[in-house]
Amino acid sequence: MTVLFASDLDQTLIYSRNSMGMEVTEEELVEVERYEGKPLSFMTKKSQSALWNIGDSAFFLPVTTRTQAQYERVTGIFEGQHPQFAVISNGAVILENGHPIKEWSDQIRQTCINRKTIIEELLPEIERHFSEDWVLKVREADDWFVYLIIDRARFPEDKLDFYTTTFKKLGWGLSLQGRKLYFMPESITKAGAMEYIKKRIGANYVVAAGDSLLDLDLLESANYGMLAAHGEAAKNAVSISAHIHKTKNYGIKAGEEILARVAELSLQRQ
Ligand SMILES: [Mg+2]
C-alpha cells in the first residue's frame, strides 16, 4: 500500500521564531530556511529526522502556498534529494523534479480566466475595500493570487466576516495568516493538486496536515487529516469532518506531534 503524506509547510511542519511557541529550547532547533543571510524557519531536530525517515514508509509531498522561489529556500525538509513532486502556489503549480508541470498550470489558468478570478479583476476590488492605512503592501504571487501585508494590530478583525462574504461572491477565498491576508481564487486548491499526485503515484491512502483555512480542502479530501491546534482553521471553529484530528500541542511541538503520528500511520499500513 502506498501512503501519501501531503503536508503544508509553514506553521505545520516549519516555524518562524514568532510562530514556534515557548515550549522549545535552542538546542532542540534546527534551521531549515535562510533568507537574506538570516535563519528564517526552523524545525525541531526530532521533527526533521522524523520527516527524513518518513520516506521509508510514505511518499512525502510538500503542499504549500509559497511561490517557487519561496519554496526553494526551504532546504531543511529533505536529506540529499529534493522531493520528487511539490505542490506550490497553493495548488496552481506542481513541480516535478524541480520543474513546473505545464499542462497542470495551463488548465488552472484557463479555469481562472473562465471564472474571472484573475488578478486584474481583483485589484480594483481590493482598492475599493482596502485603502486603509493598515494595509502595508499589496503583493502578487506569480500572477495567481494576491496577498496583503497588514499591520495586524490595527487590522479590524471584526470586519473579516464581511470581507470574506464580499470576496466569496466574486469567487475568491480569504485566509488570514499572521501579517498576511490572502485572496485565493476558489479554483486554486491544494486538494486538486494532491489528487493529481495521488493518481500519478498510485497512492491509496492519504494523510494530510495543515493549519490554515487554505489547508481545509486538502484535509477534507485525505483519509486522515491533522490540523495544527494553533492555526487559523482550528481557531475559526469551522465544522470539520470526523477524520480530521486537532493536535494536542501548539506551535513547533504540534509539528513534532504531526510527524510522529504520520510515522505511526504509515508503518501500520505497510
Ligand atoms: Mg500553513
**Counting Cβ atoms within 10 Å, is residue 145 exposed (0-12), middle (13-18) or buried (19+)?**
buried
Q: Stretch 196-202: mean pLDDT, rounded?
A: 97
Residue 202 has pLDDT above 70, yes or no: yes
Q: Stretch 133-143: mean pLDDT, rounded?
A: 93
pLDDT band at 192 (very low <50, low <70, confident <90, very high): very high
pLDDT at 237: 67
pTM for the complete prediction?
Answer: 0.95
- Work out the number of other CB atoms within 10 angstroms of the CB of residue 121: 16
Residue 219 has pLDDT above 90, yes or no: yes
**85 C-alpha to ligand 1 centroid (Å):** 18
**177 C-alpha to ligand 1 centroid (Å):** 8
pLDDT in tens, 21-70: 988 999 999 999 999 999 999 999 999 999 999 988 999 999 999 999 99
| Contact present, 92 and 64 (Cβ < 8 Å) | no
DSSP bridge partners of 141: 145
Cα dihedral across residues 68, 231, 260, 57: positive or negative = negative
**144 C-alpha to ligand 1 centroid (Å):** 18
**13 C-alpha to ligand 1 centroid (Å):** 8
Q: Which three cell numbers stand for residue 266?
A: 504509515
- Work out the number of other CB atoms within 10 angstroms of the CB of residue 80: 5
**41 C-alpha to ligand 1 centroid (Å):** 12
pLDDT at 119: 96
**40 C-alpha to ligand 1 centroid (Å):** 15
Short-list 263, 225, 157, CA closest to 12: 225
